[in-house]
Amino acid sequence: MAYTFEITKDKAGEYRVAFKYNSEKMFTTEGYSSKASAKNAIESMKKNGPGADVVDSSDG
């Protein structure tokens, strides 16, 4: 599958989740203090993301 979630650890020791498409990073989450929290974030995005509304705030 071309879509992946990648868990990394930053210089501050926090875990971050990157969402990638064909190895291109689309977005990265906030830092989490534990890997379990990062994994929970992934599960939440999988569960809640497909039905999320799109809000366009680009028009002044």
Banded pLDDT at 51 (limits 50, 70, 90): confident
List domains and CATH numbers for the chain: 3-46 (3.30.160.160)
Banded pLDDT at 21 (limits 50, 70, 90): very high
Helix, strand, coil tally for the chain in percent (to 5):
30, 35, 40
Candidates 29, 51, 49; CA nearest to 39 is 29
Once rounded to an integer, what is the mean pLDDT over residues 35-57? Answer: 94
Once rounded to an integer, what is the mean pLDDT over residues 32-43? Answer: 97
Question: How far apart are alpha carbons 21 and 6 in whole angstroms?
Answer: 11
